[in-house]
Amino acid sequence: MEKVIKIEGMTCMHCVETVKRALYSLEGVSYVEVSLEEGKAKVKLEKEIPFETFKSAIEEWGYKVVGEV
């Protein structure tokens, strides 16, 4: 399974690392790729994870999740 999440507020590679760490901390996430330019995170999943779970994990760090692509 794969999901692409739209994220607003990332401005540098530090932000990218923070978002990656937030996503990897979720159980069931096996791979994360974050594009700063596109404001997107591509996530590979071993099991279904609700959108709200991604949203709160990322927004906890001050970024805004605007949706799924």
Residue with tokens 């994220």: 7
Residue with tokens 């999740």: 65
Closer Cβ to Cu ion, 12 or 37, answer by number: 12
CA distance 28 to 51: 13
CA distance 42 to 37: 13
The interface with Cu ion within residues 15-54 (CB under 5 A) comprises: 15
| Min separation Cβ 31 and Cu ion, Å | 22
| Min separation Cβ 12 and Cu ion, Å | 3
Q: Which residues bind Cu ion (CB under 5 A)?
A: 11-12, 14-15
